[in-house]
Amino acid sequence: MPRRPILLLVTCLLVGCGGAVPPASAAERAQVPVTLYTTRWCPVCAHARGWLRARGVPFVERDVESDRAAAARWRQLNRAGTVPVADVDGRVLVGFVRDEWREALDAAAHRRAGRASVR
């Protein structure tokens, strides 16, 4: 049997089955710049903050109620006016959806490490 069709089939299967971004290492994730726009009273913000800390992801937290510059930037990123909002290396995430945040962090970590991520 010719090799090319088998290689093509295997390649298609591997690419087709890899729908998610592969996990990045903690060291790679630590290199991703993350800015978290929050308020003190927001319980979802507290969950997002804890999730980042539990994964060892450094982040800059900006309180949109006490910091005018942060509030202005937050309004540019999210016209709906909800929190939390995360800027993960230029990708804006509105609300807190664990899988979406994990994918954004891993994709940014791979990009910064010079590796292509499979989607």
What pairing do the DSSP bridges indicate for beta strands 34-38 and 85-88? antiparallel
Of all residues in the chain, the percent with pLDDT exceeding 70 is 80
Measured in degrees and rounded to the nearest 5, phi and psi for residue 20 equal -110, 160
Mean pLDDT estimate for the chain: 86
Tell me the pLDDT tens digit for each residue of 31-72: 999 999 999 999 999 999 999 999 999 999 999 999 999 999
Vertex 90, ends 62 and 25: CA angle to 5°? 90
pLDDT band at 5 (very low <50, low <70, confident <90, very high): low
Residue 18 has pLDDT above 80, yes or no: no
CA 44 vs CA 8, 86, 97: distances in Å: 45, 12, 10
What whole-number distance in Å separates Cα of residue 85 and Cα of residue 51?
A: 14
pLDDT at 8: 40
Please, what are the domains in the chain? 29-112 (3.40.30.10)
pLDDT band at 21 (very low <50, low <70, confident <90, very high): confident
